[in-house]
């Protein structure tokens, strides 16, 4: 069935470090891909998306490239800040137009 | 973002109580969703409404009863819940059913605790 695999957290980094959160998925066809972020005490917010192969989604310094050949959509940021501490969710869209959710990756940034 | 508002933010109830969760969206969206978020588990899609019609019910126990009186409001009626129902309940909306151009917008959730 459709599924998504993310790094288990928490991922702990120092401020200004480089971030990568891996995401791989299995889904029918070539789904749209999303990254959502959940800050403490809040709901989920759309961070970025990519709708076709080789597309790069970007927002707030975060980037992710749709890699069809490896069915991956890894999230990267060149220099993280304390305010980036949150839980990050990779979510492909399945053929029934429902998002496939993983457990998320908790990111902790230390000053 | 305050486009999707959920009330209450926190709810504590006994197993025999009846309560309702409310969700309101001010975005002019046509689709609304209820999710359950439990610690260290993937989000679970519970119900989906499109143009006030239920289009998805993912084997949710009958003690959860949704209601969508119009495209801006969504309720989740709760009765005789179990301790394992304690979780964060998230409401979301999208312009149309989730697609390439319809990302979901989430509320801040209701933290439900069953005694």
Q: Could you read off the pLDDT of A13-51 as tens digits, one per residue?
A: 999 999 999 999 987 777 889 999 999 988 899 999 998
Lowest mean pLDDT among A36-40, A62-66, B51-55, B109-113: B51-55
- Which DSSP state fits A102? -
Question: Using an 8 Å Cβ cutoff, are A32 and A25 in contact?
Answer: no
Residues in chain B with CB shorter than 8 Å from the CB of A99 are 43, 45, 98, 104
Query: For the segment B14-28, what is each residue's pLDDT rounded down to a tens digit?
Result: 988 899 999 999 999
- Tally of CB atoms within 10 A around B21: 22
Percent of chain A with pLDDT over 90: 70
On whether any CB of chain B is under 8 Å from the CB of A95, the answer is no
Q: Is the pLDDT of residue B1 over 60?
A: no
- Is the CB of residue A1 less than 8 Å away from at least one CB of chain B? no
- The pLDDT of B39-57, averaged and rounded, is 87
Core vs surface per residue A4-30: b (16+ CB within 10 A) or e: bebbebebebeeeeebebebbbebeee
> What gap in Å lies between CA B66 and CA B31, rounded to an integer?
14
Contact check, Cβ <8 Å, A98/B99:
no
pLDDT at A1 over 80: no
Q: Does B10 touch chain A (CB under 8 A)?
A: no
Among chain B residues, the shortest Cα distance to A9 is held by: B40
Judged against a pLDDT cut of 90, whether residue A111 lies above it is answered with yes
Chain A interface includes B39 (CB < 8 A): no
* pLDDT for position A31: 84
Q: Is the pLDDT of residue B52 over 90?
A: no
Specify the pLDDT at position B101.
59
pLDDT of residue A30: 75
pLDDT digits 0-9 by tens, B64-99 = 999 999 999 999 999 999 999 999 999 999 988 765
Of B23-27, B40-44, B71-75, B109-113, the one with minimum mean pLDDT is B40-44
Contacts of B106 in chain A (CB under 8 A): 36, 43-45
Residue of B nearest to A5 (CA): B42
Contact B45 A41 (CB under 8 A): no
- Partner-chain residue, chosen from B45, B98, B106, that has the shortest CB–CB distance to A43: B106
pLDDT value for B39: 86
Question: What's the mean pLDDT in B40-54?
Answer: 89
Q: Which residue from B1, B100, B109 is facing A45, i.e. has the nearest CB? A: B1
B54 membership: H or E segment, kind and range? strand B53-57
From residue B101, give the alpha-carbon distance in Å to each of A34, A93, B40.
Answer: 11, 11, 29
On average, the pLDDT of chain A sits at: 91
Confidence of residue A12 (pLDDT cuts 50, 70, 90): very high
Residue B61: predicted pLDDT = 93
With contacts defined as CB-CB under 8 Å, which chain A residues touch B40?
A: 103
């Amino acid at each position: 069935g459709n599924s998504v695999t993310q790094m288990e957290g928490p991922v702990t980094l120092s401020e200004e470090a480089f971030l990568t959160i891996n995401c791989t998925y299995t889904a029918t066809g070539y789904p749209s891909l999303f990254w959502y972020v959940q800050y403490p005490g809040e709901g989920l917010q759309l961070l970025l998306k990519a709708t076709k192969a080789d597309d790069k989604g970007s927002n707030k310094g975060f980037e992710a490239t749709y890699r069809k050949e490896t069915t991956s959509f890894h999230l990267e940021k060149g220099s993280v800040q304390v305010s980036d501490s949150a839980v990050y969710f990779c979510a492909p869209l399945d053929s029934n137009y429902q998002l496939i959710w993983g457990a998320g990756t908790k990111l902790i940034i230390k000053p | 973002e305050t486009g999707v508002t959920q009330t209450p933010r926190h709810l504590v109830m006994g197993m025999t109580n009846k309560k309702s969760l409310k969700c309101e969206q001010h975005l002019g969206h046509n689709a609304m969703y209820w999710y359950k978020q439990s610690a260290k588990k993937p989000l679970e899609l519970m119900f989906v409404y499109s143009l006030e019609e239920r289009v998805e019910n993912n084997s949710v126990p009958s003690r959860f009863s949704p209601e969508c009186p119009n495209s801006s409001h969504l309720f989740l009626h709760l009765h005789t819940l179990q301790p394992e129902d304690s979780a964060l309940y998230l409401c979301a909306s999208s312009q149309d059913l989730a697609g390439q151009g319809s990302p979901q917008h989430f509320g801040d959730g209701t933290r439900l605790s069953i005694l």
